[in-house]
Every structure is written in structure tokens, then in C-alpha cells.
Chains A and B, each alone.
Chain A
Amino acid sequence: MVVACLAMLMVLVFWGTLYQVRFGLFAAQEKFFYSWIFLQFGWIPLPGAQLVLAILFVNLVASMLFRFRFGWRQTGIILIHLGLMLLLAGGWYTHQFGEESFLALVEGEGSNVSSDYRMWELSLSKSNEVEREITAFDTRGTSAGTIFRAESYGLEIEAGIYHSNCRAFQGGESSNTVNASNITGFQPAERNKVPEEDVPGMICTVRDRAGGEADLLLFGGDPGPTLLETADGPVYFQLRRKRHPLPIFIHLVDFDRTYHTGSSTAKSFESRIEVHVGEVVREVLVEMNKPLRFQGYTFFQASFQPLESGAELSQFAVTRNFGRLIPYFATGFTVVGLAVHFLMPMARRRK
């Protein structure tokens, strides 16, 4: 069974590698590695990596429970099996509960939220100040007729049209929708190979508790929120990348980069940031391969972009993974298990 599972994993890696060349990394991951069953060539049902790994895990547990005779002589084998089981369990845990997002800041800017790469949200707030309370709805699965109920705002928002990826237009025939960027319409577009590049659009009807009604056009590329006067006061609406609240406020003080002499190849880039935790402020230098770690979050220096204004934008990849140490423990178990397994017979022979 183990050999069959490992062989299937090899096949999946091979197919996945070929598939991602044409359809992109995300599509390959979804089809071959995050699936239980998938259709190869459109009609042959085959097990995905999730199913194969689950079988491998169950097989390891079963072999330990029913085939092993527990004793000192089996210590090595048991440790190896425990290590492998821990590795598989850790992979599952990271996949299920890990979060990946990014934080893009221009020098002088700061934030306590990071943005999701793929997920979007409909956000509502009563102000557009630096500090504000947000009520947000995930837009995954939104379609015509989806109702977003924001009771604290006295609003009901009904999606009329929702496109996961679209192109927006200004000008032309004026529509009766409200939009902050004077966008008058959008057209659905094919999903990108890289889902991060998709930009959604939504036309929705907002109803307040006084019976007022307005049609909003929200586009993921809107540079700012759209303001609407409702019975309960002004409300700012925005379709934007889903935000993940962080336990700290990060303020980008300075971004610096150096190039290899005589070329435009980056040698290093680093961000000097202030980390605010409550009233406590400390300065940290985040460099390539030297991330900031805090309460299960890791902030990596991911990329940068010089702006036309002369300022620089620094982007951090933000991961939240409480299981990041599991692979180290798992590998440790396996290495110790292998050592014990091979050294014990040698020691016995010497005696």
C-alpha cells in the first residue's frame, strides 16, 4: 500500500508539474494536490494528493497498531513511523489552518491589517478615517440574489451581478449606479491563471431601514470606498481584498535596496519598520531571509516597487502558521528513529 501511495504521489507531482506550465500553479495545486478525487483527461477518476496522503496516514497508523510487536527492538521503527505520521499531520494542519496574505506599505505608511491574495470582501464602515470599525462579508460564492445583512448599519445589500473577474469602464452611457471612481459598467473577463490577478465587480442594491434604495457599482480596482447616505448616516462601501487583522501595527519607516556592482540585479533589500504592540514600540529591520516573527505570524520581505513620486513601496508576505515547527519535530523523530534502528543491531553484534 505504501509503495502504491508513493508511486501515485510521484505520478501526481509529474502531472502537476506539466499542468502548471499551461494552467498556472494555483490550478495545478487545486486539481492534483488539494483534491480528494479528480478527473484526469476529463473522464478518468483518480485519487488526488489529499486522498493518497490520507490513505498513507491511515496505513501508517494501522501498521503500527496491528502489525507491530511493541518492544525495545522496535524503538527505531516506531520512531520513524511517528515522525512520518507527524509530518503528514503537520502538512494537513498547515493546509487547513495556515493563512497567507500580504502587507504593502509605502514609506511612512502603516497598518494593522494584511490583505488576502485571493479572497475578497465587501466592507462597510461609518467613517473613512485612519482608525475605523469595519464590518465585512466574504464574497466567495456570491451570485445574483445573495443577501448581505448588516444589522448594525440597518442595511440589506442584495447582489444583482457579481463577476469574480471583470474589466471596468468609465464614460459611455450613464448608468443609475453609484460609484466612487465614476465607473459606469464592467464586463466579465476570463479568470486568470494566477487568481491573485483577478479583480471582481459587483452591482448591488442597498436598502436601508427607512425604505430607501440605491444601486451601487463596486469594482475591486476602485482606489477608495464609495460613500452612500443612508437612514443611519453615511456608510462607506468597498469591494476589496479580504483583510486579516494583525496583532501588531506595522509602520514602514524606510526601505532600502542595494544592487550588485555594475548591474541592476538586487543584492539585498530591507525594510526598517516600527512595530507597535499596544503602547510599546520597537524598531525592527526586516531583510531577505531575516523575517519578523510575532505570535505565530511571520513577516517576510517579499518585494518592492519604486513609485513615480520617488517613494518606495515595500511588500511583506505575511504567514500565520502555528504548525511551522511540526516538520522540524517530525524530521527529528525520523532521524533519531533511523539512527536507533541501524545502530542498535550493530551495538548488539559487538556485544
Chain B
Amino acid sequence: MRRCPVVLLAALAGCSKSDPEPRTYHEVTLRVEQPALDSGGPAAPGTGPATPGMTGSVPTADVGLSWIAPEGWEERPGSGMRLATFLAGGSECTISSFPGDVGGLRANVDRWLGPGQLGADTTGEDVSNFIVAADRFSTKGGLSGVFLDFTGLTGDGKSMLAAVLKKDDASVFVKLMGPREVLEQERDKFLALAKSLE
């Protein structure tokens, strides 16, 4: 019986975690070069590509813009098409730019309201009225923009504030997506950030 602890220790040693074993496979993945997604960051299944080989060059987002970060918002550097990311009340606000008009304002609003994003149950007429009623503004640098407050179209859950601006031949998007309460709380700071662009 005295040998029991020794045997037990030996058994435990035998059960200790071993190094991971490699597995090999043949992969064929054909990728089409895409600009970085507006959503940025890692893609979760169901929301993004999570692609293995998006090795294409990422177009630069540098369109010569500057801004003033609102007080209390934590700014993080951008990459790819994303110029900057801010943490605002636990939600993420992004500034991104894309060449051209990216389909135009209506197409972008439709897409944001669509099932992949806000999933709002709206009619075409609702969207038209929403765009017509949206506030127009000018930034510190003289850029003209449209401010879109989606909280009026979505339910009590996730919603979005967006500002769409033109800078030369590029479209600039400022977006804050998160719970309705956060958006209401951060609305003024969001507008201040959008208006500070120059």
C-alpha cells in the first residue's frame, strides 16, 4: 500500500498535458482583393468574413483629415479605411473614409437599416422621409455633411448615429453604434466630433 502514492503520482504524470499535435491539410483559398471592411477589427461569424488570406494591400485611408476628440472619449489609432476609433460610453465610434460616394447616401442608409446591421423594419417611404428630415451641417474645415440619428427608426435595442461627409472625391463616415441610452447620452459629443473635422 505504501507504493500507492508513487503509483498515483506516476499515473498523474502520465496524464499531464502533452504538447499539441500538428495536423496538416491542403488549402485552396481564392480571395478577391477587397478594401478593409467599414466595420473593421476582427470579424465574428455571421457578421464578417473572418477570412484566412485577405492578404491584399489595404488602401490607405489618409485623406488629410484632422479632428478633435471629445472629452472623455478614448481614442485609438485607425488602420486601413478606418481613420480612428473612439470608445464612447462603452460603445465604439469610428471615422472611416472610402473613395467615391460608396453608392450614395440612400444606398448606405438602406444598408445600415438592413438585416445585417440595424435590422429595422422600415418602408421605402420611411427611409425617404428620414433622409429628407436629416440635419445638414458644416464642419470646422468647411466640409458639408448630413447627420443621421437612427434612434427614431429603430426600437429600444441597438441603434446608430452617423454623419456622412464629402471630402474631395472621398466619402467620410462618422458612426457610433450602440444601445439607445448610450447614443442619447453621447449625441452632443458625437456631433461635436463630426463638426470638428477639417
Chain A residues engaging chain B, CB cutoff 8 angstroms: 102, 104, 106-113, 115, 117, 123, 125, 128, 130-139, 141-142, 146-150, 169-171, 181-182, 194, 196-197, 199, 220-221, 223-225, 238, 240-241, 243, 245, 249, 251, 262-266, 302-311, 313, 315
Contacts and interface: CB of A to CB of B under 8 A. Distances in A.
B29 A146 contact: no
Given A263-B121, A306-B114, A196 B44 contact: yes
Q: Which of B49, B55, B127 has the most CB of A within 10 A?
A: B49
Contacts of A221: 41-43
Contacts of B30: 108-111, 130, 251
B37 interface: yes
Nearest to B55: A224
A142 B80 CA distance: 30
Interface residues of B, number: 57
15 contacts: A104-B49, A108-B32, A109-B30, A112-B26, A112-B29, A115-B45, A136-B25, A221-B41, A241-B50, A249-B28, A263-B121, A263-B122, A265-B121, A302-B46, A303-B116
A307 B37 contact: yes
Contacts of A137: 20-23
Contacts of B45: 102, 104, 115, 117, 196, 315
Given A102-B50, A111-B28, A245-B27, 20 more contacts: A107-B32, A109-B31, A117-B45, A123-B52, A128-B55, A132-B26, A133-B26, A134-B27, A135-B23, A146-B19, A149-B22, A194-B44, A221-B43, A240-B50, A243-B27, A264-B114, A264-B115, A264-B120, A264-B121, A305-B48
Contacts, number: 178
A131 B47 CA distance: 26
Nearest to B30: A110
Contact of B116 (A171, A196, A306, A308): A306
Nearest to A199: B42
B49 A313 contact: yes
B25 A263 contact: no
A104 B116 CA distance: 14
Given A264-B110, A304-B116, A309-B34, A113 B47 contact: no
Given A106-B32, A148-B19, A149-B22, A265 B115 contact: yes
B42 A243 contact: no
Contacts of B65: none
Contacts of A102: 45-46, 50
B129 interface: no
B27 A132 contact: yes
The 4 closest A-B pairs by CB, nearest first: A221-B42, A224-B55, A199-B42, A108-B32
Contact of B76 (A131, A169, A310, A313): A169
Nearest to A197: B44
Contacts of A181: 79
A196 B42 CA distance: 11
A221 B79 CA distance: 12
Q: Which of B41, B45, B110, B121 has the most CB of A within 10 A?
A: B45
A243 B115 contact: no
A305 B17 contact: no
Nearest to A159: B20
Contacts of A194: 44
Interface in B77-94: 77, 79-81
A303 B114 CA distance: 12
Contacts of B34: 106, 307, 309, 311
Contact of A134 (B19, B24, B48): B24
A68 to B, nearest CB: 42
A306 B111 contact: yes
B66 interface: no
Contacts of A123: 52
Nearest to B20: A137
B190 to A, nearest CB: 21
A136 B52 CA distance: 13
A337 B29 CA distance: 50
A171 B77 contact: yes
B27 A223 contact: no
Q: Which of B27, B123, B125 has the most CB of A within 10 A?
A: B27
A110 B29 contact: yes
B53 A128 contact: yes
